[in-house]
Chain A
Amino acid sequence: MPRAAASRSQGAGLEFSLGNSRTLLDRVLTVLAIGFSLCALLPLFSVLYMLLVRGGELLSPSLFTELTPGAGMEGGGIGNAVLGTLVVVVIASVLSLPLGLLAAIYLAEYASESKLATLVRFAGKVLTGMPSILAGVFAYALVVVTMGSFSALAGGVAMSVLMVPTVMLTAEQALRAVPEKMRMAALGMGATRTETTLRVVLPTALPGILTGVMLALARAAGETAPLLFTALFSDYWFEGKLGSPVASLAVLIYNFSGSPFPHLVKLAWAASLILVFLVLVLNVGAQLIIRRPKEI
């Protein structure tokens, strides 16, 4: 077959052959691309490995029940930091959830195309991209300077600034995903706009909204920069005073990471393990909620 032989000599045969330079280049690039991709993920596995090995060392019940030790002392735990993180996150949620949710209802139910809505959405996007440390600067200017001291409240304010855009933008999407028919049906039954929103649209969109809230919480729990100079740190238990500094896992990791005492560094690893575990649980929870099959 002279024609087939001729085409094979030009490297354009129809059968697969690595001798063909185009095929070879294709394969080499594929191997390189997958190799680079795996390399890019190496740090993640290294981080997780180190967390389990070095963070797991100190894992015990007393870690959660005892206060952070002073410099050079042994023992102790990170109980005050765990509690403090929860306190700050709760304050931030109380401040940001109503704001984010009602703004989302405004965007999805009342004014989807108005000029103000475009402006609100733009503000949300800008806030999402804003460096988290600037939220801390804002809370410092607004709360710390006004009240004259670092405080749990200031930390909560800083965190809430970070949570609002995530909650708002995800909740808006969840509300928009509710079929228009359901609103029409409710309005046709004689419900007011408010009743439609509160009793029909919100419950239907709840899984999507919860996902956004959990993602926002996960982000907030891991943030350090906005807490450094708002909530500061405290070696004691939170005593219900919003006006005094409070400990947090994130700031503990930062403070102890530079410590010359090996025991404090160990505590920093243990705190990292707990913080990452907390954040991952929130993230996985968010994924599970959204994957639940829709009933409608």
Chain B
Amino acid sequence: MSSAAARPHTQVARPPTGWQTGSNVVFRWLTHAFGGAVVVLLAGIVFEVMRHASGAMSKYGAGFVSGSTWDANRGEFGILPEIAGTLYTSFWALLLAGFLGITLALVLSQGFLHRRYEVVMKNIVELLAAIPSVVYGLWGIFVLVPLLRAPAGWLNDHFPNFPLFSTRLSGPGILPASLVLAIMILPTVTAVSREAMAAVPPRLAAAAYGLGATRWEVIFRVTLPTSAGGIFGALVLGLGRAFGETMALAMLAGNAQNFSWSLFSPGNTLAALLANHFPEAGEFEVGALMYAALVLLIITLAVNVLGSLIMLRATAGLKGLR
């Protein structure tokens, strides 16, 4: 290469300076490092929880999952009531949020409303997701529980032998917790199943309309069966959220170390156990809580990965219909 003086266009075209090449390489590696850091973060979370849980794991073993006492003074820890409570509250929440969420998704995607109202309603559903869970908890304590007391008492008076109504609602309990949980997972179920319904090729519905089907015949025989995979995925993702939801349950489930089938009795969930016990836990209890956190981590990871896989397969299956 000749000297700069021999090239008249140095100001316009010149090779990159050392600073430019250097910064280019540094920036490239920086982004790679930060990309990797996200993976390290996830691994770090799993590792840290496992490291702190290892003591309790070797001490209590599998009995931790099947035991039902939680006594920090005697050093006895078991989380069976919490696991049962997590599954039970999530079941009721998913039943209600599944029904309402799929209905909402239909109303929002099948042309029931004028476009403008559709957008308004969609924004309202999103608003539901924006309200912090602790505010729902507060609302549950001071609005929902007083509201439920009379009907719950009536059900208990008239059907005392029916397992679901076998106790009185004395304040916090499974029913208010499940109801608030349902409100909280409703936006997830609605949004994801709406997406699945919107992915159904319009030709299919148009063909059914052309044959003379009414709107609901199209919904029941074309839209719902075609998007069933995606809707199932939405329910699984909603379940994942329900398992991990903490504050509303810590405030409304009752923080009781027992499990009952009655909707009106207090109970507990894994996440609520962590929230209620961590702030004042001693050394041994922290180990046990870490073990419980690990169980929660494994359950929610499994459910979320499963939900994502179902969604992936459901949308892939529709590609051929386009």
Chain B residues whose CB sits within 8 angstroms of the CB of A117 once the complex forms = 35
In Å, the complex CA distance between A198 and B143 comes to: 51
Chain B residues whose CB sits within 8 angstroms of the CB of A134 once the complex forms = 45, 49, 244, 293, 296-297, 300
Minimum CB–CB distance for A124 against chain B, Å:
6
Please tell me if A276 contacts chain B, counting CB pairs below 8 Å: yes
Q: Which stretch of B64-72, B124-132, B155-163, B227-235 is in the interface?
A: B124-132
Please tell me if B24 contacts chain A, counting CB pairs below 8 Å: yes
Q: From known contacts A47-B139, A141-B48, infer whether A126 and B112 are also in contact, taking CB-CB under 8 Å.
A: no
Please tell me if A280 contacts chain B, counting CB pairs below 8 Å: yes
Contact in complex: B278, A228 (CB < 8 Å): yes
Residue ranges of A at the interface with B (Cβ–Cβ < 8 Å): 22-23, 25-26, 29-30, 33-34, 36-37, 39-41, 43-44, 46-47, 50-51, 54, 98-99, 102-103, 105-107, 109-111, 116-117, 119-120, 123-127, 129-138, 140-142, 145, 161, 164-165, 168, 190, 192-195, 197-198, 218, 221-225, 228-229, 232, 250, 253-254, 257-258, 265, 268-269, 272, 275-276, 279-280, 283
Please name the residue on chain A nearest to B308 by beta carbon.
Answer: A125
Contact in complex: A44, B124 (CB < 8 Å): yes
- A-B contacts besides A130-B297, A193-B27, 5 pairs, CB < 8 Å: A30-B216, A33-B106, A133-B244, A137-B49, A193-B24
Contact in complex: B296, A102 (CB < 8 Å): no
Contact in complex: A107, B216 (CB < 8 Å): no
Contact in complex: B27, A197 (CB < 8 Å): yes
Contact in complex: A279, B130 (CB < 8 Å): yes
In Å, the complex CA distance between A134 and B270 comes to: 11
Contact in complex: B271, A253 (CB < 8 Å): no
Q: Which stretch of B36-44, B197-205, B259-267 is in the interface?
A: B36-44
Minimum CB–CB distance for B96 against chain A, Å:
9
Listed A/B pairs (10) with beta-carbon separation below 8 Å: A33-B112, A44-B124, A125-B308, A135-B45, A137-B293, A164-B38, A224-B133, A258-B251, A268-B138, A275-B132
The 5 closest A-B pairs by CB, nearest first: A131-B244, A222-B132, A106-B35, A102-B34, A129-B304
Please name the residue on chain B nearest to A96 by beta carbon.
Answer: B41
Contact partner of A141 among B36, B51, B186, CB < 8 A? B51
Chain B residues whose CB sits within 8 angstroms of the CB of A283 once the complex forms = 126-127, 130
Contact partner of A250 among B134, B240, B286, CB < 8 A? B134
Contact in complex: A37, B103 (CB < 8 Å): yes
Contact in complex: A131, B13 (CB < 8 Å): no
Q: From known contacts A99-B34, A138-B49, infer whether A41 and B304 are also in contact, taking CB-CB under 8 Å.
A: no
Please name the residue on chain A nearest to B108 by beta carbon.
Answer: A37
Please tell me if B79 contacts chain A, counting CB pairs below 8 Å: no
Contact in complex: B142, A44 (CB < 8 Å): no
Minimum CB–CB distance for A254 against chain B, Å:
5
| B17-50 interface bits toward A, Cβ cutoff 8 Å, 1 = contact, 0 = none | 0001101100110111111111101101100110
Contact in complex: B44, A138 (CB < 8 Å): yes
Contact in complex: A253, B35 (CB < 8 Å): no
Chain A residues whose CB sits within 8 angstroms of the CB of B88 once the complex forms = none
Chain A residues whose CB sits within 8 angstroms of the CB of B51 once the complex forms = 141
Chain A interface mostly: helix
Chain A residues whose CB sits within 8 angstroms of the CB of B73 once the complex forms = none
Q: From known contacts A34-B107, A133-B246, A272-B135, infer whether A50 and B142 are also in contact, taking CB-CB under 8 Å.
A: yes
Minimum CB–CB distance for A22 against chain B, Å:
5
In Å, the complex CA distance between A129 and B293 comes to: 15
Chain B residues whose CB sits within 8 angstroms of the CB of A195 once the complex forms = 20, 24
Q: Which of A36, A190, A224, A250 has the most CB of B within 10 A?
A: A224
Chain A residues whose CB sits within 8 angstroms of the CB of B177 once the complex forms = none
Please tell me if B279 contacts chain A, counting CB pairs below 8 Å: yes
Contact in complex: B279, A126 (CB < 8 Å): no
Category for how many chain B residues contact A: 35 or more
Minimum CB–CB distance for A260 against chain B, Å:
12
In Å, the complex CA distance between A43 and B186 comes to: 11
Chain A residues whose CB sits within 8 angstroms of the CB of B244 once the complex forms = 129-134
Contact in complex: A137, B274 (CB < 8 Å): yes
In Å, the complex CA distance between A268 and B35 comes to: 40
In Å, the complex CA distance between A192 and B217 comes to: 59
Contact in complex: A279, B128 (CB < 8 Å): no
Please tell me if B148 contacts chain A, counting CB pairs below 8 Å: no
Minimum CB–CB distance for B22 against chain A, Å:
10
Contact in complex: A37, B121 (CB < 8 Å): yes
Q: Which of B16, B103, B135 has the most CB of A within 10 A?
A: B135
In Å, the complex CA distance between A293 and B36 comes to: 35
Chain B residues whose CB sits within 8 angstroms of the CB of A221 once the complex forms = 132
Please tell me if B136 contacts chain A, counting CB pairs below 8 Å: yes
Please tell me if B208 contacts chain A, counting CB pairs below 8 Å: no
In Å, the complex CA distance between A272 and B33 comes to: 39
Contact in complex: B251, A222 (CB < 8 Å): no
Contact in complex: B103, A33 (CB < 8 Å): yes
In Å, the complex CA distance between A22 and B212 comes to: 11
Contact in complex: A124, B104 (CB < 8 Å): no
Q: From known contacts A37-B104, A194-B23, infer whether A280 and B300 are also in contact, taking CB-CB under 8 Å.
A: no
Q: From known contacts A131-B245, A272-B138, infer whether A26 and B24 are also in contact, taking CB-CB under 8 Å.
A: no
Chain A residues whose CB sits within 8 angstroms of the CB of B126 once the complex forms = 283
In Å, the complex CA distance between A206 and B243 comes to: 35
Chain B residues whose CB sits within 8 angstroms of the CB of A194 once the complex forms = 20, 23-24, 27-28
Contact in complex: B107, A23 (CB < 8 Å): no
Contact in complex: A131, B217 (CB < 8 Å): no
Contact in complex: A168, B38 (CB < 8 Å): yes
Chain B residues whose CB sits within 8 angstroms of the CB of A50 once the complex forms = 139, 142-143
Q: Which of B37, B44, B215 has the most CB of A within 10 A?
A: B37
Minimum CB–CB distance for A293 against chain B, Å:
17
In Å, the complex CA distance between A73 and B169 comes to: 31
